[in-house]
Amino acid sequence: MTEERVFREGLEGVVAAQTHLSHVDGLKGELLIAGYPVEELAQHAGYEEVAYLLWHGALPDESQLSDFRRRLATRRALPEATLELIRIAAERKVAPMDALRMAAGTLDLDGQPDPREQAADVVARFPTIVAAYARLRSGRQPLQPDPELGHAANYLYMLHGAAPSPAQTRALESYLNTVVDHGLNASTFTARIIISTDSDIVSAIVGAIGALKGPRHGGAPGPALDMVFEIGEPQNAEPYLRAKLQRGERLMGFGHRVYKVRDPRAEVLSAAAARLYEQNEQIDGDQTLYELARHVEEQAVRLLAEFKPGRNLQTNVEFYTALLLHGLGLSTDLFSPTFAIGRAPGWIAHCFEQQRHGRLIRPTSEYVGERGRQWIALERR
């Protein structure tokens, strides 16, 4: 009796893992993080609280949270070898995601065998890596982490050299919490496959970064904002978008492989962006970009319904990610590394879960090539 095998392109609909970490319902537009609606966590929780939740299965009490924050804060400084690699990458103008991937691979050079300790090092040092690289690339020296600041606030401080406002910190925490985990996506699946071989946490995270770099996964928020910049004025939106659709091009920031309704993360980040740009209005008196982006969104959704009826292509997380991170002063090529900072605790939580299962992930393939071929000596070919 032969075992039944079913081939599905892209593993569509195949259940490859059972998890307690997140639940995605694309038909209802629902995302749960360890049982909590993403809207609840993004709005109220600090970044460290959500990381603790994913690693321990419950929200921390005051003492646990204080200890966890201190544990991360004391690990933010980079090993000298990591910092030297970042300097070389900056001199050679390496792309930020490649710099993060290379630097992340050095975080186990001290031979730390404990997965929990490796995990804390990765999460604590990712912001330091990205901020140090961004500053070196622009001719500035990296800043030492501030142990008195929380994870999100310290990242903005190391990037810009000034402590962020509470509104800016809340905006970044909302973003990081929103993207911390999202089912068995490509990068998370990559991490689980690597850790299932009994490899180490750092290797699994390096592999996940490689998957996240792809523009069909985490590499798309920048182009979503570039499109808004290219449009420039509200009156240009409709003809610009219509021309792209007539050419068969994709509108970045709209539509999703899973969600058949509006991405719930877009809802969260839309509200967070509105609050951030309201503060920015009070600071610099310019809310033009936010208003333009909202107009572009309205026109895009309307035209997608016209050109692709029945597909219900709605705004996804990329669109408001771009708007929010731009409002926080990040260049577009830092959007994907910042995504990695947010996703790292989720990757690691999946690694822990996979280690508990202890099962090697080993799918099969269906051979569709030729058979019966015979060897031909080199001189006769």
- Domain-ending residue, one of 310, 327, 344: 327
214 and 78 in a common domain = yes
Residues 213 and 239 in one domain: no
DSSP 16: -
Residues 168 and 292 placed together within one structural domain of the fold: no
Average confidence (pLDDT) over 204-225: 84
In this structure, the answer to whether residues 196 and 302 fall within a common structural domain is: no
- Of 201, 179, 174, 148, give the one whose Cα is nearest residue 327: 174
Q: What pLDDT, on the 0 to 100 scale, is given for residue 312?
A: 84
SS3 19: coil
Arithmetic mean of pLDDT over the chain:
91
pLDDT digits (tens, 9 = 90+) for 338-350: 999 999 999 999 9
CATH of the domain at 268: 1.10.230.10
Contact 332, 222 (CB under 8 A): yes
Of 256, 295, 326, 350, the catalytic one is 256
Domain match, 259 and 307 both: yes
Residue 379 — very low, low, confident or very high, per pLDDT cuts 50/70/90? very high
Shared domain check, 341 and 251? no
Choosing from 289, 307, 327, the residue where a domain stops is 327
Q: Is the pLDDT of residue 19 over 60?
A: yes
Q: Residues 38, 268: contact at Cβ < 8 Å?
A: yes
Domain for residue 340, yes or no?
Answer: yes
**Quick check: is 256 catalytic?**
yes
The answer to whether residue 14 sits within a structural domain is: no
Residue, of 170 and 254, whose pLDDT is higher: 170
Q: Same domain for 201 and 343?
A: yes
Residues in the chain: 381
Task: Answer yes or no: is 305 within a domain.
Answer: yes
Task: Note whether residue 116 is domain-resident.
Answer: yes
Lowest mean pLDDT among 19-28, 45-54, 124-133, 140-149: 19-28
Query: What is the average pLDDT across 77-103?
Result: 96
Domain count within the chain: 2
Tokens read off for 226: 């570039």
Distance CA 345, CA 351 (A): 10
Task: Note the pLDDT of residue 214.
Answer: 87
- Total Cβ atoms within 10 A of residue 89: 21
Q: In which element (H, E) is residue 242 found?
A: helix 234-246
Query: What 3-state class would DSSP assign to 254?
Result: strand
What is the structure's pLDDT at 348? 98
Q: What is the tally of helices (H) and strands (E) in the chain?
A: 16, 3
Q: Are residues 175 and 301 in the same domain?
A: no
240 falls within a domain? yes
- 119 closest CA partner among 349, 365, 364: 349
pLDDT of residue 15: 83
Same domain, 294 and 193: no
User: What pLDDT sits at residue 7?
Assistant: 79
**7 in any annotated domain:** no
Q: 349 phi and psi, to 5 degrees?
A: -60, -40
pTM of the model: 0.90
Does residue 110 surpass a pLDDT of 70?
A: no
Residue in 267, 295, 318, 350 annotated catalytic: 318
Give 229-266 pLDDT, tens digit per residue. Answer: 999 999 999 999 999 999 999 888 888 777 777 788 88
pLDDT band at 282 (very low <50, low <70, confident <90, very high): low
In a domain, 15, yes or no: no
Share of the chain above pLDDT 70, in %: 95
**Phi, psi at 254, each rounded to 5°:** -135, 140
Residues 6+ apart with CB under 8 A from 269: 174, 175, 178, 317, 320, 321, 323, 324
Is residue 355 predicted with pLDDT exceeding 70? yes
Q: Say whether 318 is catalytic.
A: yes
* Separation of alpha carbons 344 and 325, rounded Å: 18
Mean pLDDT of 48-57: 97
Average pLDDT for 96-110: 90
Confidence of residue 280 (pLDDT cuts 50, 70, 90): confident
Confidence of residue 221 (pLDDT cuts 50, 70, 90): low
pLDDT of residue 283: 54
Read off the pLDDT of each residue in 106-121 and give the average, rounded to a whole number. 83
User: Do 288 and 262 reside in the same domain of the chain?
Assistant: yes
The answer to the question of residue 366 being in a domain is no
pLDDT at 140 over 80: yes
pLDDT band at 321 (very low <50, low <70, confident <90, very high): confident
- Range(s) of the domain holding residue 97: 22-219+333-357
Domain of 46, CATH number, reads 1.10.580.10
Are both 338 and 322 inside the same structural domain?
no
* 73 and 142 share one domain: yes
